[in-house]
Amino acid sequence: MERETQFIGQSGAFLDAVERASRAAPLSRPVLVIGERGTGKELIAERLHRLSSRWDEPLVTMNCAALPESLIEAELFGHEAGAFTGATRARAGRFEEADKGTLFLDELATLSMGAQERLLRAVEYGEVTRIGASRPLRVDVRIVAATNEDLPRLADQGRFRADLLDRLSFEVITLPPLRVREGDVGVLAEYFGRRMAAELRWDGWPGFAGHVQSQLEDYAWPGNVRELRNVIERAVYRWGSWDEPVGHVQFDPFDSPWKPAEPATRKPAESEGAAPGTAATAPAFDQIDDLRSAVDAHERAILEHALGRHRWNQRQTAKALGLSYDQLRHAIRKHGLMEQAGD
């Protein structure tokens, strides 16, 4: 458990968010954690609990998006026997389970308006009523909620109760996406790489080849730290050689020459004359002021990727690129990749 809940990073934006969580932890007030998927909202919730006076009481988690709307209220507040079809016996809800501790509500924005209304009463009065019961129960629960939605905008649109938002937003911690955490990609990649190498029982950790490090830094990481961990662990286990720097990384695990073809129907977004599969974003041609250097840089990037993909097997790489062995050797010498491989 411990190795899954560590905070790894050194950027100012990331450390500021962690520090804010540390300062809010001792207060038994609600906290909202906002962030894109994969930024570590669950880790912040656990930090808020572990650094509070409730650390030895239950930390109960509920993913509001994982349950159908008809069951959310029963999960949150519990129910009495016979309260609805299938309720053969009484059951305590998450609020009762978290009494004296912390209740973490993930994907808060997916709660129905009815559940929001009952949650508001629980937050405001510290009381919950099981479905089918006539008397409320007193509970002492600290609420931490998380979402990747813009809750104030949803409140303005009438899709989230503004009064509930007011009561839950004593403190709001917004986690920075990985793409703005300067210097953290390399630190995290090294951490996940070493951890995966240890799991595979490698004799040592060779690190990443230079071109792989550049690819990791240049990638936008839409899935943030969760995506980075998957990419790194996949690259290490596929590489399988502890005495050579990891020379290939695949960002999209579904990328394959044999993946199912798209339907032949033309997409409206495709422009006239555009070939199927053309990337939505084209190179910044207007910024090129040296054609030869731009072409050389593109050629070098293709060679690095292909060599890494084929584990520096030059005959396989030449075949994949449609080159003769001698042509590939000439291109490798031209771009100084032999020296890089030797490093």
Residues 210 and 322 placed together within one structural domain of the fold: yes
Q: Is residue 27 part of a domain?
A: yes
Whole-number Å distance between alpha carbons of 343 and 334: 17
Domain that holds residue 68: 2-176
Q: Is residue 279 part of a domain?
A: no
Q: Is residue 272 part of a domain?
A: no
Q: Residue 237: enclosing H or E segment and its boundaries?
A: helix 224-239
Q: Is residue 72 part of a domain?
A: yes
Q: Which of 143, 158, 176 is where one domain is finished?
A: 176
Residues 129 and 18 placed together within one structural domain of the fold: yes
Residues 115 and 244 placed together within one structural domain of the fold: no
Which two tokens mark 133? 């019961």
For position 271, what pLDDT does the model report? Answer: 43
Q: Is residue 263 part of a domain?
A: no
Q: Is residue 270 part of a domain?
A: no
SS3 127: strand
Contact between 70 and 76 (Cβ < 8 Å):
no
For position 1, what pLDDT does the model report? Answer: 35
CATH (domain of 109): 3.40.50.300
Phi, psi dihedrals of residue 90, rounded to the nearest 5°: -70, 150
Residue that has been written with the tokens 């990985």 in this structure? 178
Counting the structural domains of the chain, the total is 2
Residues 171 and 185 placed together within one structural domain of the fold: no
Whole-number Å distance between alpha carbons of 341 and 307: 10
Residue that has been written with the tokens 């977004």 in this structure? 269
Contact between 146 and 32 (Cβ < 8 Å):
yes
Residues 53 and 11 placed together within one structural domain of the fold: yes
Residue that has been written with the tokens 């962690």 in this structure? 18
Averaged in consecutive runs of 10 residues, what is the pLDDT profile of the chain (343 residues)? 67 96 96 96 96 96 87 86 76 92 96 90 90 88 97 96 96 96 96 96 94 94 96 94 91 85 59 41 64 79 78 78 81 72 46
Whole-number Å distance between alpha carbons of 283 and 288: 9
Q: Is residue 110 part of a domain?
A: yes
Q: Which of 120, 145, 176 is where one domain is finished?
A: 176
Residues 236 and 116 placed together within one structural domain of the fold: no
Q: Which of 160, 176, 192 is where one domain is finished?
A: 176
Roughly what angle, to the nearest 10 degrees, separates helices 210-218 and 224-239? 160
CATH (domain of 243): 1.10.8.60
For position 89, what pLDDT does the model report? Answer: 83
For position 284, what pLDDT does the model report? Answer: 65
189 Cβ contact partners less than 8 Å away, ≥ 6 residues apart? 208, 213, 216, 228, 232
Whole-number Å distance between alpha carbons of 308 and 249: 8
Residues 187 and 169 placed together within one structural domain of the fold: no
Residues 329 and 210 placed together within one structural domain of the fold: yes
Residues 31 and 170 placed together within one structural domain of the fold: yes
Residue that has been written with the tokens 């995506």 in this structure? 227
Whole-number Å distance between alpha carbons of 109 and 157: 13
SS3 31: strand
CA distances from 327 to 231, 285, 307, 319, 330 (A): 32, 28, 14, 11, 5
Residues 193 and 308 placed together within one structural domain of the fold: yes
Residue that has been written with the tokens 């005959």 in this structure? 315
Residues 51 and 135 placed together within one structural domain of the fold: yes
Residues 137 and 41 placed together within one structural domain of the fold: yes
Task: Please choose, from the candidates 119, 69, 67, the residue with its C-alpha nearest in 3D space to the C-alpha of residue 98.
Answer: 119
Q: Is residue 271 part of a domain?
A: no
